[in-house]
């Protein structure tokens, strides 16, 4: 094995479930180690928090490991996603009123969509009226901004994760307990602190236990800044 990177550790601030990282955030951190313009990350086990993870070079890209356990596989890819409709800021605000986990959130401290995370993104997607699209308003704040006010790539991966889940769960197609299996992301424009954005998610295809879902982050003026494609796998009914 060739270790070309120091071990990577995921800060507990960026949790999804209480004991593991938000899947999108973890994927974004792992993708940044590869350095490819567009990357795809396949999660093989829940990414542990506050635990050094080894990064191993392989012919296809990188493998992230916790001891002998493979946590993730990272590879360069291409990504073509078409956003189905422009959703205005006002429409996203209205959609968020229908966020299905306002009460009884199973992961209340999720960094992205958690209702009880004081340092989270507070992205609460709900169904857009007349569309099979989930949307949420989002104004990035200074706590997540990097140099020049730009939001770091791993935070954008996180912001593309949860909207993809609500892109199908808001419309009654979720059965059992889906887990994020794979996420690919392409970032085209900077996402800046203090600027109004809309986070979107929509279902593309169902294959057995797999939901293939796309997501996007757009400015309120409609300019698409980043897109993602996720595979969610139902592990139990």
Closest CA to 196 of 228, 171, 223: 223
| Mean pLDDT computed over every residue of the chain | 94
Find all residues with CB under 8 Å of 90, minimum gap 6, and list them. none
Does residue 128 register a pLDDT over 90? Answer: yes
Rounded distance, CA 185 to CA 230, Å? 9
pLDDT of residue 84: 94
Q: Which CATH architecture has domain 89-234?
A: Roll (3.10)
pLDDT tens digits, one per residue of 148-188: 999 999 999 999 999 999 999 998 766 667 889 999 999 99
In the three-class reduction of DSSP (H, G, I as helix; E, B as strand; rest coil), residue 212 is classed as strand
| Confidence band of 111 (pLDDT split at 50, 70, 90) | very high
Rounded distance, CA 220 to CA 139, Å? 10
DSSP for 115-142, please give it: SS-TTS-----EEPTTSS-EEEEE---T
* Whole-number Cα distances in Å, 83 to 42, 55, 91, 112, 234: 23, 34, 16, 21, 25
Average pLDDT over residues 79-86: 96
| Confidence band of 2 (pLDDT split at 50, 70, 90) | low
pLDDT of residue 174: 62
Rounded distance, CA 208 to CA 173, Å? 12
Find all residues with CB under 8 Å of 106, minimum gap 6, and list them. none
pLDDT of residue 180: 95
pLDDT of residue 234: 84
Domain-by-domain residue ranges, the chain?
A: 12-76, 89-234
Does residue 237 register a pLDDT over 60? Answer: no
């Amino acid at each position: 094995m060739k270790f070309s990177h120091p071990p990577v550790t995921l800060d507990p601030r960026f949790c999804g479930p209480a004991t593991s990282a938000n899947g999108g955030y973890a994927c974004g951190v792992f993708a940044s180690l590869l350095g490819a313009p567009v990357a795809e990350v396949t999660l093989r086990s829940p990414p542990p928090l506050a635990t050094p993870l080894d990064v191993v070079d392989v012919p296809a890209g990188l493998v992230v490991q916790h001891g002998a356990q493979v946590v993730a596989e990272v590879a360069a890819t291409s990504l073509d996603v078409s956003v189905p409709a422009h959703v205005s800021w006002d429409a996203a605000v209205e959609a968020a009123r229908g966020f299905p986990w306002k009460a009884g959130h199973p992961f209340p401290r999720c960094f992205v969509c958690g209702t009880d995370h004081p340092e989270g993104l507070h992205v609460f997607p709900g169904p857009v009226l007349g569309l099979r699209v989930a949307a949420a308003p989002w104004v990035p704040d200074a706590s997540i901004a990097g140099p020049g006010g730009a939001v770091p790539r791993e935070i954008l991966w996180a912001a593309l994760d949860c909207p993809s889940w609500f892109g199908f769960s808001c419309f009654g197609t979720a059965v059992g307990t889906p887990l994020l299996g794979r996420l690919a992301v392409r970032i085209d424009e900077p996402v800046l602190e203090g600027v109004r954005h809309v986070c979107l998610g929509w279902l593309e295809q169902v294959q057995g236990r797999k939901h293939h879902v796309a997501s996007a982050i757009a400015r309120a003026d409609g300019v698409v800044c980043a897109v993602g494609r996720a595979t969610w796998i139902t592990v139990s009914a």
